[in-house]
Structure 1
């Protein structure tokens, strides 16, 4: 029965989407922003809020914790070591072109001085500083674009219509008031898009909280999206709803998977023609979890970046800042390693398009005009088969520009290397004609 409800909900969503599809035409400002977004290829996600104090991840309040008791922790939230300049500098040095930070997660705590609720970092904590304002100012100063994550869910407000999460936080379900909650969200979004300078994107999350409703829930997204585009005509909209893009959305998001893959069970939707972004954790959690020190290696992270670019997608790589306001040492170490790779090979990554063919066992490709970059990530042999249809005029190693032998094959072209590559990413550049 649950499966049937999901199918019916998806069918209803499809009907709603088709009804609005003809109404949304991206503006010239949005099209320009989409192109800039695709060129960026790499952003850093920051999941930070009250939940960092409990060091159990960003869903801590959902695990049978009373919301009133949880809220008392705000009186002890004092991230004395928060330094926006240090954060942005480390992220920029890693080669990331934008930052997406949780302005308000499912626990309902706002990380800016919102006028819509006293439950925020300025009014409810002894810290009393607007970290989003400090981060926004520093991003603008250093030329890093800023995106805001915003949750459609709130596990603390009684006016939010409860979905399939946050049932045990102590809310009175008889006080649901969707019109009031919807107005509250739009007032908060208006603040974020009015008081913090140019914002690159609003990154929504939580639509899935009502994906099992017998009667599909109407989030009134079309009105909300129109408001955002009206307030900032170049602000992109993405929604982590795990569905096909809704009209008014400017990027398509995939969670914990590359586009077209679904190993985590969250990204089974079809790949659209919108700019693509996949979000992934640096360790295992989004929010800070003290026991989770299983960070992916620099090699693993570079491979994920390159594979995403090979599919024409950006990677939004997550870090969960600590409660004292610092980025974890392990995360800073990984950022440094990624930055060293970017300094040498960024040309093969930034501003590229998807490669000419799907990823292979040995790696993937990225394209920039008539230049095709062959990223050899996991070679088992010194002979690399490329299922190419274009003509290869010249082939050489990216490092050192040493000629590489090519052999025409029935299935495309074979590269014959001097030896089996064993580095993080051995890159061969091809000068081509056609595609």
Structure 2
């Protein structure tokens, strides 16, 4: 009861805050942004009661399961093999610096002990334990930062109305009070950010797009409801000033957001049709899944190879972005060995080559046909050759800093070069080309 009263107090206080003021990130937030960019690599985890059906996290929508039937799933959710310590160790062995866990997906089920609604893993399942609390405690012990994915849309809550363009066959009433739903959402966010789960590194929103019913409105950044984003964002920043806010809305960032994300595409690309071509000056992150599904899919065998993952990670870093790589644990709480083996292989690569990724920023030249570049400080530049040139040299256009030396990163072999007005020529004689990523280090004065 005390927590609910505190939640109501905070919520009412925020109603009085004018969102007309421009968002000014706190010093803690700015420091967190820098850490986030330095981290470069994180583990995304989609896990919930939907895993029982083995058909991905959208199963409630894709199979048109009504709320009354879907509510039976928690009774079968008993993940006795869940081991938070093991999950965190998998992330660390992979070279990942943070974990983003689905606290609530579109099905509306809370993966923590919520006092706002009994529709949660402690009150509605035979497991009776708070998996988020276990993970938060283990992340703190091991120095891994924890972000929370939180769905804006909700196929379960009766006040999520109008229903939007998804989950329309779930049997929810054709009425509702959207303002009450927003109060419910903010109350649950208050629970997550009020200290029980420690320092939350950020909130990863998804679902704003559900109310943008046509492409024109989406591009205009308008929806059929008022999400009161600034009100929610102000609440988060007030509770935890360092927490970073991102929103997978697929449009240019709104005021109050701290990083920009891209779904299944690198910044500036839009092969999946989700993303805006606009790339902001905020820290960037691209998310991709290790197979073809986000949540556990029993039939999905489309596992990406370690080589593909490394090349995607390098491509993201070269565009000044992080890679958030997803796994969908099984309903018993285990992360599939097919995922673990691939993550460990990438971790082994990072043990040797991580300094060309961690703590870097996108290079001073844009992505080229041969690959990308990263830089560390003002004098160390890394050329990541992802496609072998057809010539015996690598041409780096418009590379203006004065070069003092060039070496192959593996083996440290000095390389000959020629720097002219049009760019830099790096001669590849004796360089062993690597199918994953051939790295050349350029030292400038």
Do both proteins adopt the same fold according to a TM-score greater than 0.5, normalized to the shorter chain? yes
SS of 1:202 mapped into structure 2: strand
Q: Deviations over 1:113-155 (max 9, x none)?
A: 1011111110110011100000000000000000000001110
1:399 and 2:410 aligned: yes
Question: Shift in Å at residue 420 of structure 1?
Answer: 6.0
Aligned counterparts, 1:238-317, within 5 A = 238-317=246-325
Deviations 1:202-243 (A, max 9, x none): 010000001127874210011110010000011110111011
Partners of 1:422 and 1:20 lie apart in 2 by 52
Deviation of 1:411 after TM superposition, in Å, equals 2.5
Shift of 1:425: 1.4
For the Cα contact (< 8 Å) 1:21–1:247, is it kept in 2? no
Q: Is this contact kept in 2: 1:150–1:203, CA < 8 A?
A: yes
Q: Per the alignment, in what secondary structure is the counterpart of residue 173 of structure 1?
A: coil
Cα displacement (A) at 1:407 = 2.1
For the pair 1:427 / 2:439, whether they are aligned, the reply is yes
Equivalent position SS for 1:327: coil
Contact 2:49 2:109 in 1 (8 A): yes
CA contact under 8 A between 2:408 and 2:431: conserved in structure 1? no
Contact 1:395 1:406 in 2 (8 A): yes
Asked if 1:383 corresponds to 2:393, the answer is yes
Q: Secondary structure at the match of 2:344?
A: helix
1:1-57 CA-partner distances (Å, limit 9, x unpaired): xxxxxxxxxxxxxxxxxx968611111111011001100000110000011111100
Task: Summarize deviations over 1:373-421 as a string: whole Å, max 9, x none.
Answer: 1111221334211111222110011122110111234531111112561
1:422: Cα distance to partner?
Answer: 3.1
> What is the rounded CA distance, in whole Å, between the counterparts of 1:20 and 1:256 in structure 2?
32
Q: Which residue number in structure 2 is paired with residue 204 of structure 1?
A: 205
* 1:21–1:31 Cα change, 3 Å: farther
Q: CA RMSD in A?
A: 1.5
| Change in CA separation of 1:127 and 1:264 when aligned onto 2, cut-off 3 Å | same
Tell me how far 1:66 sits from its aligned partner.
1.3
Q: Which residue is equivalent to 2:127? A: 127
Q: Measure the CA separation in 2 of the matches of 1:365 and 1:179.
A: 47
- Take 1:272 and 1:143, find their aligned partners in 2: how far apart are those partners? 29
Partners of 2:200 and 2:243 within 8 A in 1:
yes
Matching of residue 89 in structure 1 with residue 100 in structure 2: no
Equivalent residue runs for 1:53-64 within 5 Å: 53-63=52-62, 64=64
Equivalent residue, structure 2, for 1:100 = 100
SS, match of residue 366 in structure 1: strand
**Which among 372, 387, 399 is matched to residue 381 of structure 2?**
372
Distance 1:291 1:361 in 2: 35
Equivalent-residue separation in structure 2 for 1:103 and 1:203 (angstroms)? 10
Bigger Cα displacement from structure 2, 46-55 vs 410-419: 410-419
The reply on whether 1:223 has 2:231 as its aligned counterpart is: yes
TM-score normalised over the length of structure 1: 0.93
- Tell whether the 8 Å contact from 2:56 to 2:295 is kept in structure 1 after alignment: yes
In structure 1, how many angstroms separate the alpha carbons of the residues matched to 2:192 and 2:288? 25
Distance 2:305 2:420 in 1: 36
Deviations 1:84-115 (A, max 9, x none): 00000011111110000000000011101101
**Cα shift readout 1:168-217 (whole Å, capped 9, x = no counterpart):** 0011122x111211111111001100110000000100000011278742
Distance in 1, matches of 2:349 and 2:364, equals: 23
What residue number does 1:168 align with? 169
Q: Deviations over 1:332-373 (max 9, x none)?
A: 011101100110011111010111111112211100020001
> Given that residues 356 and 367 in structure 1 are in contact (C-alpha distance below 8 angstroms), is that contact kept between their aligned partners in structure 2?
yes
**Correspondences of 1:39-54 after superposition (within 5 Å):** 39-54=38-53
Structure 1 window deviating more from structure 2 (277-286 vs 205-214): it is 205-214
**CA distance 1:21–1:44, shift in 2 (3 Å):** farther
Structure 2: give runs of 5+ residues left out of the alignment: 1-17, 218-222
* SS of alignment partner, residue 337 of structure 1: helix
TM-score (normalised: structure 2): 0.91
Cα distance in 2, alignment partners of residues 289 and 169 from structure 1: 21
State how far apart, in whole Å, the 2-side matches of 1:239 and 1:269 are. 16
Residue number in structure 2 paired with 1:139:
139
Report the equivalent of 2:6.
none
Aligned to 2:15: none
* Equivalenced residues, count: 414
CA distance in 2, matches of 1:90, 1:403: 36
